Amino acid sequence: MPMTDPLWYKDAVFYEVHVKAFFDGNDDGIGDFPGLTQKLDYLQWLGVNCIWLLPFFPSPLRDDGYDVADYLGVFADYGTLEDVRRFLDEAHRRGMRVIADLVLNHTSDQHPWFLESRSSPQSPKREYYVWSDTDKKYEKARIIFIDTEKSNWTWDPVAQAYYWHRFFSHQPDLNYDHPDLRRAMLDVLSFWLDQGLDGFRCDAVPYLFEREGTICENLPETHAYLKEVRKRIDEAYRGRILLAEANQWPADVRPYFGDGDEFHMAFHFPLMPRLFMGLRSEDWHPIVDMFIHTPPIPETCQWCLFLRNHDELTLEMCSGEERDYMYYAYARDPQMRRNIGIARRLAPLLDNDRRRIELLNSLVFTLPGSPIIYYGDEIGMGDNVHLGDRNGVRTPMQWSADRNGGFSKADAAALYLPVIADSLFGYQTANVEAQQQTPHSLLHWMRRLIAVRKRHRAFGRGTIEFLRPRNEKVLAYLRRHGEDVLLLVHNLAGSAQAVELEIRQFKGAVPIELFGESRFPAVGEAPYMLSLAPYGYYWFQLQRTTAGEPTYGIEDSLI
Ligand code: NOJ
């Protein structure tokens, strides 16, 4: 992929990683930038195009770095600014880009701005945060972290006032009505882009402004500010991107793309649980319905599709009935539940069933959008539901069967979190080294998936048409880009299925299966008949041939 294409993110494969979790370069038990830099060859080998780094800024780590105490620094255990620059250079040298979290909505209560703000009503930073004499304002706003928070207001004994927070009570919300604050955050953005970052995953964007009588989400003022942020990118940093974390219904996410003048990308949150639902219920309706409710987006924009990330598998964009179904299907043990969601990794969610892991990955790699892989899921890493908060899915990357999974040479007790060590998902079994040595491993399969996807722009840029076969267990769709026509077929069922596809419009075309390059019988007048193994899938390119028999090799060509 040329590093000069301003629309690079439309074809890119993303990889989400936490610096602390990837590789420990100085043997202190915590991953760091020098360690991450050492592992860039691995990510290049895997074929990812863009790395998303979770927050790596100074922080008391009460929300794993989403509680920022200094926007312009680097958390000392992760390295120095120099280490970050070296890492960015090395990633770029390998043709990879790097985006990082920009936590716009709130800071840590240890941020100097907050300390100053709370110190006195006369403080010049007072208005950087949202203060009130009463906790009865903005009552329509929901509480997001329902496991720990009872209110969005917390009394501050120092300030003798309540402050507003949408997340943990130690994360006061910034006040975007204040022009100095708005400018300060734009400077933060420029600072990191000047260091060489290729963009940002913008955290919690729906909540920037508060207005009485509203739910304080997705307000017009929020969009106006985010357009200013985009303007800064377009003016001085072309080719860099903004990716929105807006856990909302597609109709409410759509405005975050603006007219191509707000975000380049946004996660598709509601699709994610429906992939799991479609699989469990062996029915394509939940998935196709979600696309019916997904409005078109500007051509320069892109969805970001994911199966898992560092948070719980969120069920916020689900009905009560759907939630119950998801808990029943994927989190019977209450220990697996966090807030409104399920804190588990992909492989355990799917009972470590390689066929289902492949199937869901195949969906996020072929539906409209750019896929993102959560670190460790490419080797089927497990989780530890007994760790608090969402830590169970943030354990050290498993590199080998060596001590601490090859992640660190420190004493096991010094690791920031224990490595997964159970007999099914533990580092002794699930690790990069072993899977690199096994040609049919999940890791090799993921690498191939990435490589095959990259051969066709239709995956990132093509149109989508769902075929809606009568067999509701088989999800089939076409992706088209120019002359390139791809046919994707997925058996959501745990039993073999036959399906008839109405594709006679491609009569004469020969489906070429993209992983093995094998030719299938040409499409004729009758419905195209396929049989699929349990959880089987096909990626076809429909190759139009000139009339007559398809030719093979050099036959019929001019020699
Ligand atoms: C969303 C992040 O993904 C999550 O990890 C964090 O706790 C909240 N935003 C608050 O910043």
Letter for the amino acid at 278? G
d(CA 112, CA 24): 30
Ligand 1 centroid to residue 203 C-alpha, Å: 7
Q: Is 63 in the pocket of ligand 1 (CB under 6 A)?
A: yes
Nearest CA to ligand 1 atom 11: 66
CA of 234 to the centre of ligand 1 (A): 27
- Taking the centre of ligand 1 as the mean of its atom positions, its distance from the CA of residue 246, in whole angstroms, is 11
- Count the neighbouring beta carbons within 10 Å of the beta carbon of residue 180: 12
Q: Which residue is listed with tokens 């996807």?
A: 453
Tokens of 41: 């060859």
Rg (CA), the chain: 24
| Residues found in the chain | 559
Would the CB of 226 count as within 6 Å of ligand 1? no
Pairing verdict, β 528-532 and 518-519 = unpaired
Rounded Cα distance between 93 and 169, Å, is 41
Domain map (residue ranges) of the chain: 106-173, 462-544
Catalytic one among 11, 67, 90, 203? Answer: 203
Q: Backbone phi, then psi, for 258, in 5-degree steps?
A: 55, -145
Distance between CA atoms of residues 143 and 172, nearest Å:
14
The list of the chain residues with pLDDT below 70 reads 1-2, 546-559
**How far, in Å, is the centroid of ligand 1 from the Cα of 79?**
22
Sheet holding 518-519, edge to edge: 463-466, 474-481, 484-491, 537-543, 510-513, 518-519
- Whether 311 is catalytic is no
Q: What is the DSSP string of 96-155?
A: -EEEEEEE-SB--TTSHHHHHHHH-TT-TTGGGB-EES-S-SSTTSPPS-TTT-S-SEEE
Q: Give the Cα separation of 455 and 45 in Å (integer).
A: 16
- Pocket of ligand 1 contains residue 77 by CB under 6 Å: no
- Test site for ligand 1: of 64, 203, 267, most ligand atoms within 8 A of the Cβ: 203
> What is the distance between the alpha carbons of residues 465 and 458, in angstroms, rounded to a whole number?
12
Distance CA 26, CA 19 (A): 13
CA nearest ligand 1 atom 5, residue:
311
pLDDT tens digits, residue range 468-484? 999 999 999 999 999 99
What is the per-residue pLDDT for 557? 57
Look up 245 and say whether it is catalytic. yes
Confidence (pLDDT) at 547? 54
C-beta atoms surrounding 33 within 10 Å? 27
Q: Is the CB of 145 under 6 A from ligand 1?
A: no
What are the C-alpha distances in Å from 19 to residues 54, 57, 74? Answer: 7, 11, 11
- Ligand 1 close to Cβ of residue 167 (< 6 A): yes
Ligand 1 and 311: CB distance under 6 A: yes
- Could you report the per-residue pLDDT of 544-557, keeping only the tens digit for each? 876 555 556 665 55
What is the pLDDT, as a whole number, of residue 513? 98
**What percent of the chain clears pLDDT 90, i.e. is strictly above it?**
96
What was the pLDDT predicted at 550?
A: 54
Which CA distances in Å does 356 have to 116, 278, 350, 477?
A: 52, 12, 6, 19
The domain 462-544: what is its CATH number? 2.60.40.1180
Residue 208 in 3-state DSSP? coil
Rounded to whole angstroms, the Cα distance separating 46 from 54 reads: 20
Name the residue with the closest Cα to ligand 1, atom 2. 203
CATH of the structural domain 106-173, one choice from 3.10.129.10, 3.30.70.100, 3.90.400.10, 3.40.50.300: 3.90.400.10
Q: What is the pLDDT of residue 1?
A: 58
In this prediction, residue 88 carries a pLDDT of 98
pTM: 0.96
